[in-house]
A and B are shown apart, each in its own frame.
Chain A
């Protein structure tokens, strides 16, 4: 079955702009989480959505936001981009509530802010 799909794979933006990243989870997975990966900070949790509701949020400023649609697809948005937002953004989906756990990650979107 298809894995987690993230688009686009690469993105270059200018400081001050905003960006929207997209994630399609594995079919049947209703939980979608977002992570930021940088060489200095490693993998950090951004937020998690389940049934279109944000259930938890990591320690990131309000410039980072997200949403989930009724088909479980998710988007994250970063406004007023800063150089430090350059990172690999990873989406992960999870099957919740059936006793089966574990996240499946997508290949990520590489965002470069110049």
Chain B
């Protein structure tokens, strides 16, 4: 089955700096790659996603890039703010996110924004 590796497990950056989290996946049939943010006591919240027919997607301070050949995708957060502190998860799916095969998640990255 699919295997998703996520690095680093912990990332500490100064407020205002950029943060980059990287994931690799094993199944070339995967076609949907979402990123989730989880705050303490809450469920994961979708922050951005990308499909395999797109190489990059941006939403304000957040961007995701996908390299299908290398089977890796990355989350980029610019101008980090204290409210960006959370655990971030990458995931992969073969069903376009429509539900049938579920999401395979990475182990998560604890992002700490230092004031």
Contacts and interface: CB of A to CB of B under 8 A. Distances in A.
Nearest to A98: B98
Interface stretch (B16-24, B59-67, B102-110): B102-110
A48 B100 contact: yes
B108 A42 contact: yes
Contact of A43 (B32, B49, B101, B105): B105
**A interface SS class:** strand
Interface size range of chain B in the complex: 20 to 34
**B interface SS class:** loop
B99 to A, nearest CB: 4
For B32, B41, B97, B98, which residue has the most chain A Cβ atoms within 10 angstroms?
Answer: B98
A45 B99 contact: no
A97 B98 contact: yes
Contacts of A66: none
A74 interface: no
Interface of A: 4, 31, 33, 35, 42-45, 48, 50, 55-56, 58, 90, 92, 94, 96-97, 101-108
